[in-house]
Amino acid sequence: MAGKGARPRLAGIQVSVAATLSLALLATPALAATGGAPTAAGGPPPPDSPSGSPAAGSPSAGALTLLSARATPRKSFYYGFRYPSLRFAIESTQAQNDLQVDVVDGRGAVVRSFYRNDVAPGTELRIRWDGTTGEGRPARNGRYSFRIGPQVAAARKARPTVPSRETVSLDFSLYGYAFPVLGPHDYGGSGAVFGAGRSGHTHQGHDVMARCGTPLIAARGGRVQFAGAHGAAGNYVVVDGKGTALDFMYAHLAEPSPLRTGDLVRTAQPIGIVGDTGSATACHLHFEIWSSPGWYEGGSPIDPLRHLKRWDRYS
């Protein structure tokens, strides 16, 4: 999205006393004094592996067995820190083998394919998938698996074996968004919800109540549109979501975020810590989602609660 101009008014930030949290949480001091949560250096994630091309002419492969195969991590996020990655080695009755590695969803449908030609037995290969489909779109949330086999349809499929030193594990989960609060939390009372009454306006986000000092992460990676301080919002960050038409706003951070305007941030990357700066009356994250064309660029705030609860279930 285009860069912003003057700092917006931030009409919907104030949180009422009706936003509740347990007394134990309210009374606890911040867990960190300065700087926010640790954060990785700005920059995009490493690129995914090249798809390659099927072998020219007649692809060939012997009878294949997996010597080892492992997919890591078990849970990944689109545009996140770590892409789903496969390491594997084959055993074959043939000296050179043309292989195909498919990413398949929970229904068995292929969403992306990688081709590796003239692979020798015992050679470890690595495939890194960035979470995009063969058409270049972000893949849906869900369970996925790497499937290894020959490019020759009539040849035997690679049959996994469990070696003595390594267990075959090819399944993993991929999600497009992460729940932004890393710690105990609740969704507050009537004053915490989107549309709650405020003096002269309505609440434009949802307040997630959590202990001051609880780490915060990016619900979706992208580019930082704003990082600064405001009388109502306190310390805040706005991220233009990668591959979406949405902007995401995080307010009342205890300390200035380590991120700066223009930085790239990844999904689930630390962005700061929960606080009560600005007009807040309790420790919490004020979270907003804005439709296209963006936050105070002509877009509109939307109720984020159903999204937060969905992300909360799997994060």
Question: In CATH terms, is domain 64-175 a member of 3.30.505.10?
Answer: no
CATH number of 23-44+178-314: 2.70.70.10
- pLDDT beyond 50 at 308: yes
Tens digits of residue pLDDT in 83-140: 999 999 999 999 999 999 999 999 999 999 999 999 999 999 999 999 999 999 999 9
- pLDDT beyond 90 at 40: no
Q: Residue 274: pLDDT band by 50, 70, 90 thresholds? A: very high
DSSP code of residue 311: H
Query: What is the pTM for the complete model shown?
Result: 0.79
- pLDDT beyond 60 at 31: no
Q: Give 61-111 as a DSSP string.
A: --SEEEEEEEEE-SEEETTBSS--EEEEEEEESSSSEEEEEEEEETTS-EE
174: tokens are: 């991929």
pLDDT, position 156: 44
In whole angstroms, what is the distance from residue 179 CA to residue 217 CA? Answer: 8
Tens digits of residue pLDDT in 211-238: 999 999 999 999 999 999 998 899 999 9
Higher pLDDT, 302 or 43: 302
Q: What amino acid is encoded at 48 in this protein?
A: D
- pLDDT beyond 60 at 2: no
**CATH 2.70.70.10 residue ranges in the chain?**
23-44+178-314
pLDDT, position 6: 44
Rounded mean pLDDT of 282-302? 94
pLDDT, position 47: 83
Element (H, E) at 115: strand 110-119
Q: What is the dihedral of CA 38, 223, 182, 233, to 10 degrees?
A: 100
pLDDT, position 201: 73
136: tokens are: 């270049």
In whole angstroms, what is the distance from residue 75 CA to residue 142 CA? Answer: 10
Q: Could you give the percent of the chain with pLDDT greater than 70?
A: 80
Tens digits of residue pLDDT in 3-25: 344 455 565 554 333 333 332 33
Tens digits of residue pLDDT in 155-209: 545 555 433 345 567 999 999 999 999 999 999 998 889 878 676 778 889 999 9
pLDDT, position 202: 84
pLDDT, position 315: 85
Rounded mean pLDDT of 272-295? 95
pLDDT, position 155: 54
- pLDDT beyond 70 at 278: yes
Q: Which backbone phi and psi does 256 adopt, to 5 degrees?
A: -55, 140
Mean pLDDT estimate for the chain: 83
User: Cα dist. 122→65, 87, 115, 125, 248 in Å?
Assistant: 10, 12, 17, 9, 46
**CATH 2.60.40.4070 residue ranges in the chain?**
64-175
Q: Residue 26: pLDDT band by 50, 70, 90 thresholds? A: very low
